[in-house]
Amino acid sequence: MLVQIHTDKNIEGGSRFTEYFTTEINNELARFDEIVTRIEVHVTDENASKSSPNDKKVVIEARVEKKQPIAVTAHGDTVEKAFFEALEKVTRVLDTTVEKINEH
């Protein structure tokens, strides 16, 4: 599974940032390796430099073989909170997707 992390100009991304989130994704979504070809993470700060509640947005898009991409969005006070909420959401959606695939 290929993992790509994208940040806007207001989020300080770097190799440690990318490595950390990539590791968390690989650990959490390892059981979906057979059906997920790529995970894209988009991290943005919706209010730029101003600090306000829930202004960090994380969108995680999962590319599933022979299916439409799955995308979830989460907001949080910090990038980490938004990321882990989005990761939890995408895990639930992928669980449901796998169940539906197995039923057919």
Using CA atoms, how far apart are residues 23 and 3, in angstroms rounded to an integer? 9
For residue 30, the enclosing domain spans: 2-103
pLDDT digits (tens, 9 = 90+) for 1-34: 999 999 988 888 788 989 999 999 999 999 999 9
Pairing of β 56-64 and β 70-76: antiparallel
Using CA atoms, how far apart are residues 62 and 89, in angstroms rounded to an integer? 11
Task: Give the total number of structural domains in the chain.
Answer: 1
**Mean pLDDT computed over every residue of the chain:** 92
pLDDT band at 100 (very low <50, low <70, confident <90, very high): confident
pLDDT digits (tens, 9 = 90+) for 36-94: 999 999 999 988 766 677 889 999 999 998 889 999 999 999 999 999 999 999 999 99
- CATH number for position 13: 3.30.160.100
Using CA atoms, how far apart are residues 101 and 95, in angstroms rounded to an integer? 10
Sequence-ordered list of residues with C-beta below 8 angstroms from that of 56, at least 6 positions apart, any chain: 11, 43, 44, 45, 46, 75, 76, 77, 78, 79, 81, 82
